Structure formats: C-alpha cells, structure tokens
Amino acid sequence: MTARPLTVLSEDEQIFQKAVLDFARSKVAPRVHAMDAAAKIDLDLIPALFELGLMGVEVPERFGGAESSFFTAILAVEALATVDPSVSVFVDVQNTLVNNAILRWGTEAQQAKYLPRMCSEWVGSYCLSEAGSGSDAFALKTRAEKTADGWRLTGSKLWITNGAEASLYIVLANVDAAQGYKGITAFLVERDFAGFAVGKKEDKLGIRASSTVELLLDGCHVPEENVLGPVGQGYKIAIETLNEGRIGIGAQMIGLAQGAFDYALGYMLERKQFGQPIAEFQGLEFQYAQVATEIEAARLMVYNAARLKDAGLPFVKEAAMAKLFASQVAERAASMAVEFVGGVGFTKEYPVEKFFRDSKIGKIYEGTSNMQLSTIGKLLRKAALSRK
C-alpha cells in the first residue's frame, strides 16, 4: 500500500497501519490461496488477530481492549483487505458491528461479561438478515416470546457473517409483530444456548474464507439479562450499528482496490512487450492513473466519514456515500487489474482474479448500492428543505 500523506494519518496511525500491513503480508498472505480454496479461514490466524489487538480496537483497556478510535479500526480493516478481504471483514464485523453495539447499548454487567472475551478469544456475529428481509430489514419473522425467566426465540437468520466461528451473536427478533418495527429487540445469544444451532454454510463467489451461514433458533432460551438495549429499540440499534458498519465496508473495499492495483502495477513494471515495460505505454498509463485517482478519492471519503464518526458529528450521509463509491471503485479497480495483468490474471495462480471475485460483495452487503442511494437522496432532500 502506498504511504499516505502526513496530513491524512498521524505518525501513530502510520505506525499502526504499517504493523497491520506487515502482519497481513507475513502471516495472512501465505494462507490466502488455501483459505479461498477451502472456503474457510485458517483457525491458526484467529488467535494471532486477538494477540495483535485487532479484535477489540475500540474496547476500553479495562476490558482488555486497545481503547483506540473507530478510525484506527478502519485502518486495520483497510490494511488487511489489501491482502485478503475475507480476513478483513472477519475483523470488521467484530469491531464495527458487534463490539460497537455492546459498547453503545450494553449494560455495565453485559460489558463486563462479554467485552473481555471479545478481546481475547470470542468471535462475534451480527444477525439481522432473513430469507424475507434483506433491504427490507425490518420485515424479519424471527419472534421472541416472553417467558418466566427470559425470552424464547424462534425463527432463522440467513447470510450471517462470522457465523461459523462466532461464540456470541447479536440476534434481532420481534417481541410483538403487531407493533411492526417497534417490536424489534436485540438479544445477546451465546453459541451454547439451548435451542440455538448453526445451519447451512453458503458456497460463495467471493470472500470465500469468510463464513456466511444460516442460524436456527428453535425455542432458543435467552436470559432476561441478555436483552441488549431497551425492549422494542432493536430497530434503532440496527440502524445506528449499520450506519457505522458501512464505513467498515468502505474501508474493506478501498483496501481490496489498493491490493489489486498494487499487484497489477508491479506486474506491468516487470512485464515487457516491444522492448519496454508495458506500464510505459500511454494507453495503459492513462488507465491505471485513472484507477489510482479513484482509489484515492474513495479512501478520502472513507477516512472523512470515520473522522466525523469519531468527532461525534453527523456522518450518515458521508458513510453511505463512502460505502457506495468505494464499492464501485473496488469493482472497477479489480476488473481493470485483471486486464492489466492479462491472460494470467484470469487464472487462480495470480491474486487479481480473487480480488475481482471478492469485490462484488461490496455492492450487496450491509446495504445495497440502491439503498445507499436512497439514504443519500433522503438526506439531501432533508438538508435542502431545512435551508428554505
């Protein structure tokens, strides 16, 4: 990854970014091909991610975390994605969705119980999507029924990232269907709770080492103390968490784009035709200059959204724009990287083919591109009307 200007990253941030990049290149890169083929993360990597502090970036030190910023977590996601977007999203979900939700909405007892584990050994998973609720996220059918000592959850979840490795799941269920989205409530579900099971694992086009599974809740008993946030406020938890998560996906996409671009440019500098490196031909030069410019623009949008979030300023529009544009850039950059490398780029022996497959998910998960456009449009209209 090209070094960023000092005006963008502080010295400490640059040191952290380099440490994650070094880890990705030395520990993750040798495993990427095998993990993609096996469609499974190498379990030996997971303890190393915890040891490096990447699974609890924002968690306070008293719980075993690094007590750093959201922006720092975004740097980690980006850096890992330059080598493997699957490992990147593994870390992303842990930090931007699961840990963040517990930090914001968890009680002191919940934080004390779960956050030390989330920083040392437990993988987390965020469970909203269902067969009939994708973009219409609040059409979920999973139900939560009150019992004498807690809640009974019944239903299923689909497309759940980190589901195969997780020990803790944030599950969204409706306690009162008549109330619509106002009945949605968040629950902290441990893997060994009675009535909970991990189902089918999806066989995906890209980010294959990242597990995507079905979850089955057959009268799953959840103690009363494991309700996350107020009953009936799950929709608010979901919206706010996903707004932050979109910045993480934007970071994953710019890392992916940079990784594909760096490899392709290195190849073009070495590959000679007609007596000179193909990178020197103007026809290619103009193309990769355009790709590099788009990656830098997307990076600044992602960084800006993350800085706004850390500053406590409005960031929803910027997050949607960053996720939208970064996913577009990643797909274009990865596609062009395959073309830059040529015929061998179409083979699995070269990494650009995998980056291309991995890029497609950026326009789909944590809010499709159309949903981002809808969010942006609504916020633009609201801002315009407020100025009248």
pLDDT in tens, 189-230: 999 999 999 999 999 999 999 999 999 999 999 999 999 999
Q: In this structure, are 298 and 371 located in the same domain?
A: yes
Is the CB of residue 308 less than 8 Å from the CB of residue 314? yes
Residue 6 lies inside a defined structural domain of this protein: no
Place of tokens 């999973």: 142
Is the CB of residue 20 less than 8 Å from the CB of residue 9? no
Residue 24 lies inside a defined structural domain of this protein: yes
d(CA 217, CA 194): 9
Q: In this structure, are 336 and 369 located in the same domain?
A: yes
Residue 2 lies inside a defined structural domain of this protein: no
**What range defines the domain where residue 177 resides?**
125-233
Dihedral pair phi/psi, residue 6, rounded to 5°: -60, -25
238's tokens: 């979901």
Closest among 11, 75, 69 to 308, alpha carbons compared: 69
Q: In this structure, are 224 and 265 located in the same domain?
A: no
Domain count, the chain: 3
pLDDT above 90 for 138: no
Q: In this structure, are 333 and 310 located in the same domain?
A: yes
Last residue of a domain, one of 80, 106, 122: 122
pLDDT digits (tens, 9 = 90+) for 86-100: 999 999 999 999 999
pLDDT above 70 for 4: no
Residue 350 lies inside a defined structural domain of this protein: yes
Residue 4 lies inside a defined structural domain of this protein: no
Distance linking the first and last C-alpha atoms of the chain:
45
Q: What is the CATH number of the domain that holds 198?
A: 2.40.110.10
Residue 215: beta bridge partners? 157, 198
Residue 179 lies inside a defined structural domain of this protein: yes
Q: In this structure, are 220 and 253 located in the same domain?
A: no
Q: In this structure, are 286 and 307 located in the same domain?
A: yes
Return the pLDDT at 205: 98
Last residue of a domain, one of 184, 199, 233: 233
Q: In this structure, are 151 and 195 located in the same domain?
A: yes
Return the pLDDT at 3: 47
Q: What is the CATH number of the domain that holds 116?
A: 1.10.540.10
Last residue of a domain, one of 90, 122, 154: 122
Q: How far is CA 278 from the centre of its chain?
A: 35
List 165, 318, 353, 366, catalytic entry? 366
Return the pLDDT at 219: 98
Return the pLDDT at 6: 42
pLDDT digits (tens, 9 = 90+) for 40-50: 999 999 999 99
- Entry pTM: 0.95
Closest among 126, 44, 59, 118 to 93, alpha carbons compared: 126
Q: What is the CATH number of the domain that holds 361?
A: 1.20.140.10
Residue 110 lies inside a defined structural domain of this protein: yes
pLDDT above 90 for 7: no
d(CA 384, CA 55): 40
Query: Rounded mean pLDDT of 50-71?
Result: 98
Q: In this structure, are 73 and 88 located in the same domain?
A: yes
Q: In this structure, are 81 and 162 located in the same domain?
A: no
Q: In this structure, are 380 and 241 located in the same domain?
A: yes
Q: In this structure, are 178 and 87 located in the same domain?
A: no
331 in catalytic set: no
pLDDT digits (tens, 9 = 90+) for 309-358: 999 999 999 999 999 999 999 999 999 999 999 999 999 999 999 999 99
Q: In this structure, are 109 and 131 located in the same domain?
A: no
Residue 94 per-residue DSSP state: I
Residue 5 lies inside a defined structural domain of this protein: no
